[in-house]
Amino acid sequence: MYATLNHLTAAGLLVRSADASGFSYFLTPRALGYYYGSSSFKDNRDSLPYLCYSTIVPQRIDWIAKAGAPRGTRVGDGAQWYRLQFSWKPSTPAGWADAFIRAHSVVLAPLTSPTNARVLFRNGQWYLENVYDRGWMLPALSIRSRANRTGIN
């Protein structure tokens, strides 16, 4: 862990300060554009802060379907919910993300392209509500509804 922190310090993303307990590390202004305090896309379950050296670059929407609001969500202001599948590619990694950093990092979902998402359209604006790994949001029929549709009881 210290090797990674020191590597990020050498790259100019952190500054190290000696204190009574050892060292403290602080973000530099250069790191702020890569810093995320948590994730609103439910792919960082513990909401741990992280530096992101690559982002998703959407290429196209493969399909979109109107959906109901997520359970427990208040609906108002003409909000419209959609499920969609989109194809994407990763951005070029930041220059500071060398082989050492990539070898000591984790990958957050989505892992594959295309992937699924839920989006909200409200007051003329689109909001990404959640991103899922491929297959997590694919429509599925329960055994009962499948039997009813096929006439099998």
pLDDT in tens, 84-94: 999 999 889 99
pLDDT tier for residue 39 given thresholds of 50, 70 and 90: low
Q: What percent of the chain has pLDDT over 70?
A: 79
* 55: nearest Cα among 69, 41, 67: 41
At 27 the pLDDT is 92
Alpha-carbon span 81 to 121, nearest angstrom: 6
Pairing of strands 125-132, 115-122: antiparallel
Alpha-carbon span 48 to 55, nearest angstrom: 17
**Tokens of residue 86, six digits:** 């989109």
Alpha-carbon span 1 to 83, nearest angstrom: 39
Alpha-carbon span 44 to 47, nearest angstrom: 5
Site of tokens 């959407």? 58
Q: State how far the alpha carbon of 93 is from the alpha carbons of 8, 73, 96, 116, 130, in Å.
A: 15, 36, 8, 23, 23
Pairing of strands 125-132, 35-36: unpaired
Pair 55, 33: CB distance under 8 Å = no
pLDDT digits over 49-66, tens only? 788 888 888 899 999 999
